[in-house]
Structure 1
Amino acid sequence: MNQTSILPQILEWMPFVLQGFGLNILMSLLAIAIGTAIGTFLGLGQLSPSMAVGGPSKLATQLFRNAPWLVLLFYCIFLIPYQVNIAGITIQLPSWLRATIGFSFPVAANFSEIVRGSVNSVPRGQWEAAEALGYSRRATLFRIILPQCITRMVPPWMNLYALLLTATPLSMIVGVEEALGRTQAAVQAQSDSRVLIPMYLALLTMFFVYTWPINRLSLMLERRFRTK
């Protein structure tokens, strides 16, 4: 078998691998959406003066933020049932969906810290000025503080998403047929050791092409918001 036969082999398997990469993107989008929603509540909970709210929020944030992603992934894969019954309707929960839920926990914890840090970065004088004008703490938070925090949260949120996408290949370990698992299957199916490096290089290129613009955009937004 000559060297020129390697490229056709790789191109033949690319649609198969790209379908798996599409699943990586889907899992990352769902996980960042779920994690952002939960993380917003956790972050605001950390800022609550009530220990009944602030204590559990801080505990959950630190627990999921410092736990290994793979451990959380295993917990969700094996503890979440394969199917649930709602009003007599059976809903299947495939492995990729349970893995997505597993990824959403560390995302929520990290975004919680982004929210907390962004709110705390607003000068204390703005809280005092709003209080002097008769605003309640709740009104000050939602009408004055949080609108200013959006630009502070967007760049780290984008970096968190890029990090999340690069972590999704961990789901291969629990049986999800994403891009890394499909690349491994393609290499084994070809029985040609010469395609090993090119196939994994193609996979690396997919992740780089997708995440590099996100990182560049986050840096651009960070510089732009910093000058305001």
Structure 2
Amino acid sequence: MATELSLTRRCAPGRHPGKVLALATLLVWLAAGAPPREVFAPLLEWSPALAKGFALNILISLLAIGLGTLLGLAIGALNLSPLRLLRLPGRLWVQVFRNAPWLVLIYFTTYVFPFEIRVAGHYLPFPDWLKVTLGLALPASANVAEVFRGAVASIPGTQWEAARSLGFSRGQILRTIILPQCCKRMLPPWMNLYAVITMGTALSSLVGVHDLLDTAQIASNTVNRVGFTVLIYFSVLALFFAYCYPISRFTRYLERRYAFR
């Protein structure tokens, strides 16, 4: 029984991503009909454009998680306020944007916000990729607020009572005792959220943003070969996997490290 269990663990797909990727490559090769050189040559030609598109995906994900984190921490602080008048808008924000479809938010920010912004008599462009960033930052902020609330709630109440007995105010307890512990507890789910946001940037192609997926669609229509279409979409999948999988593995490491701290 123990031998079968160990064999199952060794053969689990999550433990051997390289083998899974190699198997997927073989399947793509067969689906493409063993593509010859004329199928791989266009992929090399389109590689710079694909890399530029993927760089835009990464930029959108970094800005979205950055804005979402700053806004989410502020919303989370409102949710911890002892005043009901301050907690209500924070909870409403979390409930609305945490349960709203991401694609709807992206369409909302893309077509509701203007294409130009007037600042000091000058018109500044408001590009679509920046609108997508705002659309992804909204659900990110709601999730960060919940992560922050959960991290604070996970701190034993005895620490609050001990700090109050020593004469600390509520603000001092949060700054010096609670928040340093929350940072460690928030890091794994925060990194997992960033990986999800990165994968969600693929939705930006639906509103005309020239990202990785949009570039792949243009390349597929331009070359117009079945083997190349299969190959380029597999390349898109491989790029997202290569970027997000290390984040997932590092998140699991942090979860194990901070499990009992």
Q: What is the aligned counterpart of 2:195 among 162, 167, 178?
A: 162
2:258 aligns to what SS in structure 1?
Answer: helix
Query: In the TM superposition, what is the alpha-carbon distance from 1:10 to its structure 2 partner?
Result: 1.2
Deviates more, 1:39-48 or 1:110-119: 39-48
Q: Does 1:23 align with 2:23?
A: no
Give the aligned partner of residue 89 of structure 1.
122
What CA deviation, in whole Å up to 9, does each residue of 1:63-106 have, x standing for no partner?
A: 00000001111110011111111222322110000110111000
Aligned AA for 1:60? Answer: W
Cα distance in 2 for residues equivalent to 1:93 and 1:214: 31
Give the aligned partner of residue 204 of structure 1.
237
2:171 aligns to what SS in structure 1?
Answer: helix
Matches within 5 A, 1:57-136: 57-136=90-169
Query: In the TM superposition, what is the alpha-carbon distance from 1:108 to its structure 2 partner?
Result: 0.3
Give the aligned partner of residue 78 of structure 2.
45
Give the aligned partner of residue 139 of structure 1.
172
Q: Does 1:148 align with 2:181?
A: yes
1:226 aligns to what SS in structure 2?
Answer: coil
Cα distance in 1 for residues equivalent to 2:166 and 2:120: 51
1:176 aligns to what SS in structure 2?
Answer: coil
Aligned AA for 1:52? Answer: L
Q: What is the aligned counterpart of 1:189 among 216, 222, 237?
A: 222
Cα distance in 2 for residues equivalent to 1:49 and 1:28: 33
TM-score of the two chains, using structure 2 as the length reference:
0.85
Cα distance in 2 for residues equivalent to 1:90 and 1:124: 53
Query: In the TM superposition, what is the alpha-carbon distance from 1:3 to its structure 2 partner?
Result: 2.3
Q: What is the aligned counterpart of 1:217 among 250, 255, 261?
A: 250
Give the aligned partner of residue 5 of structure 1.
38
Aligned AA for 2:109? Answer: C
TM-score of the two chains, using structure 1 as the length reference:
0.97
Cα distance in 2 for residues equivalent to 1:217 and 1:63: 30
- How many positions carry a matched residue from both structures? 227
Structure 1 unpaired stretches of 5+: none
What CA deviation, in whole Å up to 9, does each residue of 1:104-142 have, x standing for no partner?
A: 000000000000000000000111111111111111112
What CA deviation, in whole Å up to 9, does each residue of 1:188-210 have, x standing for no partner?
A: 00021211111001111100111
2:209 aligns to what SS in structure 1?
Answer: coil
Query: In the TM superposition, what is the alpha-carbon distance from 1:227 to its structure 2 partner?
Result: 4.0
Runs of 4+ in 1 over 3 A off after TM superposition: none
Taking only aligned residues, the RMSD between alpha carbons, in angstroms, comes to 1.0
Cα distance in 2 for residues equivalent to 1:131 and 1:89: 54
Query: In the TM superposition, what is the alpha-carbon distance from 1:15 to its structure 2 partner?
Result: 1.1
